Amino acid sequence: MTHNSDFDIRDFLPYILALSAEEASLGFQQLYKDRYGMLRTEWRLLFHLGRYGDLTAKDVCARARLHKTKVSRAVTALEQKRFVKRTEVPTDRRHELLSLTPQGTKAFEDLCDAAKLYDRKLLEGFSPQEQTLLKDYLKRLARL
Amino acid sequence: MTHNSDFDIRDFLPYILALSAEEASLGFQQLYKDRYGMLRTEWRLLFHLGRYGDLTAKDVCARARLHKTKVSRAVTALEQKRFVKRTEVPTDRRHELLSLTPQGTKAFEDLCDAAKLYDRKLLEGFSPQEQTLLKDYLKRLARL
DNA sequence: GAATATTAGTTGAAAATGTAACTAACAAGC
DNA sequence: GCTTGTTAGTTACATTTTCAACTAATATTC
């Protein structure tokens, strides 16, 4: 019979990952929420479109690891904010290309600047080498 | 004017943390959900009570970094599963001590074993030194 | 080329979460 | 000892998320 009072949840990787992820996302969430009234999925959509150009909703699902219903709703929301527009694909009218409007691009640029600063602030306490290692480890875990 | 098309969301710490946290929690979530029908908060409550003994709801909030409404609902849920019981504190009837029932303890022990295995599996690709570094970095980020 | 299957995306209902207002018990000030 | 303030925890309501069913367009099979 195993004796488990020695197992500390605070050493359990999914737990400390969840806590640090929550902690790290809080401050940035404030930003995109307060400035643009965006939700997490909307912010992610904006960044993927801003960085990787026109994509279909399907592409975004795959790249951003989001469920299609979440993406669908985020597209609608960003469309209403006039940040995203849809372009029909004549050869296959099932999908539509998503792209940022000039306004969307402006918001993206603004949030990029904020993200850069925020990232730097989060990593303040880490040496350059540690920063590289940390991100490398996380990417391995995320299979990124 | 900054040019932001060079900013890759996949190097943004909150993003890669969120992705790796999601990825890492998926498998374990399957376990406690399938075996015991528990939610994330319920699992956390179980582990905190199992490891740190009797606590008030307030204590759990602080230790597990959960909002009191979440804890309140998790306590009710685990009480209905007969995993947790409440004991009134005569000196101050505002709080009540939470503790695991024998059944709750059994579930805790079972999930501890599963968690140990799962943790090991997640970290398979990391050398012992990397494992230590990773967890250390994450704890720093989470202010744990 | 009509019937069936697949794919892209949307919608609706149920579950879960977050926020704020609430109750009950205790504490402090006067 | 009664008003006011604080603390522990619950409840109600709005927002988000999840899951499954749905529509519309294309592909496949016979």
- pLDDT one-digit tens code per residue, B73-123: 999 999 999 999 999 988 999 989 999 999 999 999 999 999 999 999 999
Q: What is the pLDDT of residue B4?
A: 58
Helices (H), B37-95: 40-52, 57-64, 68-80
Which residues, at least 6 apart from A84, have a Cβ–Cβ distance to it below 8 Å? A45, A46, A49, A75, A78, A98, A99, A100, A101, A104
pTM score above 0.95: no
- How many Cβ atoms sit within 10 Å of the Cβ of residue A85? 17
pLDDT (average), residues A1-5: 53
Which residues, at least 6 apart from A143, have a Cβ–Cβ distance to it below 8 Å? B23
Distance separating alpha carbons of residues B54 and B88, to the nearest angstrom: 12
Nearest chain B residue (CA) to A108:
B4
What does each C-alpha distance from A106 to B69, B108, B110 come to in angstroms? 38, 50, 52
Contacts of B21 in chain A (CB under 8 A): 14, 17-18, 20-21
Beta sheet of A84-88, edge-to-edge order = A55-56, A96-100, A84-88
Q: What is the pLDDT of residue A80?
A: 95
Nearest chain A residue (CA) to B127:
A137
Which residues, at least 6 apart from B22, have a Cβ–Cβ distance to it below 8 Å? A65
What does each C-alpha distance from B81 to A6, A74, B8, B35, B51 come to in angstroms? 25, 37, 45, 12, 19
Confidence of residue B5 (pLDDT cuts 50, 70, 90): low
Q: What is the average pLDDT value for chain A, to the nearest integer?
A: 94
- For B17, the closest of A2, A5, A21 (CB atoms) is A21
- Residue B2, pLDDT > 80, answer no
Do the beta carbons of residue B31 and residue B43 sit within 8 Å?
no
For residue A2, the SS3 value is coil
CA dihedral A80, A30, A28, A41 (to 10 degrees): -30
> C1' nearest to CA of A70: which nucleotide?
D17
- Residue B6, pLDDT > 80, answer no
**pLDDT, tens digit (0-9, with 9 covering 90-100), for A123-144:** 999 999 999 999 999 999 999 8
Q: For residue A87, list its beta bridge partners.
A: A97
Chain D positions with a protein C-beta closer than 7 Å? 7-12, 16-20, 24-27
Token pair 């024998």: residue: B102
- How many CA atoms within 13 Å lie on the side-chain side of A59? 13
Please say whether the dihedral angle defined by the alpha carbons of residues B66, B69, B73 and B75, taken in this order, is positive or negative: positive
Which residue type is seen at A74?
A
